[in-house]
Structure 1
Amino acid sequence: MSFFQFLFDRFAYVIVYFITIILVLLVVKLGLFESGVSISTSNLFYIGLLSIVLLLIYLFIDYLRQRPFYVGLNNASKEADLQSFLKMTAVTREQQVFKQLCEEAYQDYAEKLYVYEEQQKQNYYFTNRWTHQMKTPLSVIRLMLEEEEEWTKEELLEQIDEETLKLQDGLQMMLSTIRMQKFELDFSVEKIELLSFIRSILHDKRKTFIRYRIFPKLETDYEEMMIESDKKWLTFVLEQLLHNALKYSHGNKSEDSKYIKIAIELTENKIKLTITDKGIGIKREDLPRVFDPFFTGENGRRLQESTGMGLYLAKRICDQLHHPIMLHSVENEGTVVELHFQQSFDYYEFARDER
């Protein structure tokens, strides 16, 4: 910004100053005239000119003081480099406030950009792994169809049904991953009777339980237990936890591993839902990372059927629903997952605070 542009921005201020000087000189001349004292016009003109010169000197000094800011602003505008602008020294309070607003806006932009880039990386990585995992059931079905003569009709249908369920679970996980990015648009809280809700999930998963030859045991001292939650998201969480319990209990020859226990109890103002299996458990060093995205651990690498997203999504959903989730496990002894439901949590107040 040149000095003339600087003056032009203060054109109204300069005009008002000129008018003020003229009025002051007129008042002085009239006042002296009434007192019988005369002052020459040249003296008045000299006073006015001196005042204008002092004004111009002040404006020029002020321009030199603010010039680094304007030069930096001009360079940042030409180079489209916001970071170089944020490094400039603000002189006036107005510039300081403006720079602070820009810094806050840039910080917000950088955080959102980082979250977006992380989501894109996760989506790419998960889609890659998910695609390879979906290939397996399709390959198995195609292989069975090619060797149709070696299977009875009942065996063939049973195996195809099993692989179809794997595809269905994989598609459901992909849809849930996409929906999680806009959780607030797909969220509806309602009162749920927990016991009948769990029984309906166990009924829907009955084929999977039969296939793995593992049976659920629902234990509770209550005939009815009401909670508030989102039925669709809570269904996904419980199905994922049951799926993990089945997957990592299958193959264990012990008698206890033939059962998965689902217990419901009331503690103070909370309802605790516990899912316990006697499967292969989780190594101690893997426990701190079980809720991390794409973490499969030793068990996932051994079974080669894990995307590392199931528990991560379950944890994110539970955090959104304000249902604390905890996992305890001992290798070769089993795993216990706890879900806690607050009986008096105000979702509507929470929604207002989020807005």
Structure 2
Amino acid sequence: MSFIQFCRDRRFYSLFYIGNTLLILLVIKLALNEEGLFISNATIGYIGLLSVVSLALFLFADYIRQRPFFQELRQAKENVSLESLLKVKEGITNEQLAMIKLFGQAFEDYSTRLHTAQEQHSRSYHFANRWTHQMKTPLSVIRLILQEQDEWSKEVLVDQIEEEVGKLEDGLHMMLSTVRLQKFELDFSIERIALLSVIRSVLHGKRKTFIRYRIYPRLISEAEEVFAATDKKWLIFVLEQLIQNALKYSSTLAREPSKYITVRVEETDNGVTVSIQDEGIGIVAEDLPRVFDPFFTGENGRKLQESTGMGLYLVKQICDQLGHSITIESTVNEGTTVTLFIPPPSAYSTLLR
């Protein structure tokens, strides 16, 4: 900023100062006239000129004092980047100091948003890459089954193809949910739902998988129906993922066909607790703290080689968004219990439909 621009920005202040000086001189002259004293116009003009010169010197001194700030601001303007704004340090006035602070806050917010976006893009890229390779497996199996269909009975053939199609459907559902989760605030609605009916529907939808794996579902609740405040669509996705995991990791343990997956629902004044307990291979202790991390498959995932490491991550993200809590307890070769806690409806009083 040049000195002319600096003065132009303060023209109203300067005009007010000059006008106020002239008014004071006029009052002084009138007062002296009433007392019979005389002051010439030349003297008044000389006083006014001195006042204007003093104003000019003051503005020039103030410009010199603030010039380092203006120079840094000009350099930042030439570079046009947030990083260059952070180099502006020579603030003098409160406005300049507030501007410098605002630059720092804007850069911090920008850096946080950029880091979040980069992490989200990286997760999406790795998940899409892993998901694509995983989806190739069911397609390859279906193609192999069709090539060797003469060696299979019709019933077995259909059953095997249905199993692989189910894997494709689950994978597509997970991919769709991953995309929707990025705009979660636009795609959720808290409502009062019949929780036991929803759980029965999810278990019924997995009936063929239960039969195939020779596992029996059990739903335990002291009440005939339990109501909870949540988003029905997202809760169904959470339950499907948890039950699918229980089925997948229970089927790998060679036992007599007497294994169960038990869903227990308990209602208290503090909310509703849903626990899903399987009798599968369990999770090793060192893997438990990381089961909700993206792309973490752990020892079990490496054994099955079918895990994307995104199922429990998505479940945790959804629960956090809904205000639900989720915990996991597990013992190797005995089973795993996942506990989902849904707060009472009063916690969502402003969101309930």
Residue of structure 1 equivalent to 2:77: 77
The aligned amino acid for 2:234 is W
Residue of structure 1 equivalent to 2:246: 245
Cα deviation 1:164-193 (Å, max 9, x = unaligned):
000000000001001111111111222222
CA distance in 2, matches of 1:39, 1:101: 53
Residue of structure 2 equivalent to 1:45: 45
Residue of structure 2 equivalent to 1:13: 13
Q: Does 1:179 align with 2:146?
A: no
* TM score, norm. by length of structure 2: 0.94
Residue of structure 1 equivalent to 2:35: 35
Secondary structure at 1:46 match in 2: helix
Residue of structure 2 equivalent to 1:98: 99
Residue of structure 2 equivalent to 1:317: 318
CA distance in 2, matches of 1:313, 1:274: 18
Residue of structure 1 equivalent to 2:211: 210
The aligned amino acid for 1:68 is P
Cα deviation 1:240-293 (Å, max 9, x = unaligned):
001111111113123486211111223443322111111111111111000011
Residue of structure 2 equivalent to 1:258: 259
CA-based RMSD of the aligned residues comes to 1.8
CA distance in 1, matches of 2:62, 2:85: 20
Residue of structure 2 equivalent to 1:304: 305
* TM score, norm. by length of structure 1: 0.94
Q: Does 1:145 align with 2:154?
A: no
Deviates more, 1:341-350 or 1:118-127: 341-350
The aligned amino acid for 1:43 is T
Deviates more, 1:170-179 or 1:195-204: 195-204
Cα deviation 1:59-113 (Å, max 9, x = unaligned):
1111111111111111111101223323423211122223333333332222222
Secondary structure at 2:282 match in 1: coil
Instruction: Give yes or no for contact 1:257–1:279 (8 Å, CA) kept in 2.
Output: no
Residue of structure 2 equivalent to 1:120: 121
CA distance in 2, matches of 1:100, 1:70: 16
Instruction: Give yes or no for contact 1:173–1:310 (8 Å, CA) kept in 2.
Output: yes
The aligned amino acid for 2:144 is L
Q: Does 1:130 align with 2:155?
A: no
Once the two structures are TM-superposed, the CA of residue 2 in structure 1 deviates from its matched residue by 0.9
Secondary structure at 1:266 match in 2: strand
Secondary structure at 1:44 match in 2: helix
Q: Does 1:335 align with 2:344?
A: no
Return closer, same or farther for 1:12/1:206 CA change in 2, 3 Å cut-off.
Answer: same
Tell me how many residue pairs correspond in the alignment. 351
The aligned amino acid for 2:295 is F
The aligned amino acid for 1:83 is E
CA distance in 2, matches of 1:23, 1:198: 85
Identical amino acids, percent of aligned pairs: 57
Once the two structures are TM-superposed, the CA of residue 154 in structure 1 deviates from its matched residue by 2.0
Once the two structures are TM-superposed, the CA of residue 310 in structure 1 deviates from its matched residue by 0.4
Residue of structure 2 equivalent to 1:221: 222
Once the two structures are TM-superposed, the CA of residue 332 in structure 1 deviates from its matched residue by 1.8
Instruction: Give yes or no for contact 2:262–2:277 (8 Å, CA) kept in 1.
Output: yes
Instruction: Give yes or no for contact 1:256–1:278 (8 Å, CA) kept in 2.
Output: no
CA distance in 2, matches of 1:340, 1:39: 90
Instruction: Give yes or no for contact 2:294–2:313 (8 Å, CA) kept in 1.
Output: yes
CA distance in 1, matches of 2:90, 2:257: 71
The aligned amino acid for 1:169 is D
Residue of structure 2 equivalent to 1:280: 281
CA distance in 2, matches of 1:4, 1:341: 66
Secondary structure at 1:346 match in 2: helix
The aligned amino acid for 1:22 is L
Instruction: Give yes or no for contact 1:269–1:344 (8 Å, CA) kept in 2.
Output: no
Return closer, same or farther for 1:343/1:40 CA change in 2, 3 Å cut-off.
Answer: closer
The aligned amino acid for 1:13 is Y
CA distance in 2, matches of 1:11, 1:268: 69
Instruction: Give yes or no for contact 1:130–1:307 (8 Å, CA) kept in 2.
Output: yes
Secondary structure at 1:91 match in 2: coil
CA distance in 1, matches of 2:255, 2:140: 32
The aligned amino acid for 2:85 is F
Instruction: Give yes or no for contact 1:257–1:278 (8 Å, CA) kept in 2.
Output: no
Deviates more, 1:31-40 or 1:312-321: 31-40
Once the two structures are TM-superposed, the CA of residue 21 in structure 1 deviates from its matched residue by 2.3
Deviates more, 1:265-274 or 1:114-123: 265-274
The aligned amino acid for 1:163 is E
Deviates more, 1:264-273 or 1:324-333: 264-273
Return closer, same or farther for 1:161/1:175 CA change in 2, 3 Å cut-off.
Answer: same
In the alignment, structure 1 segments of 5+ residues that lack a partner are none
Residue of structure 2 equivalent to 1:197: 198
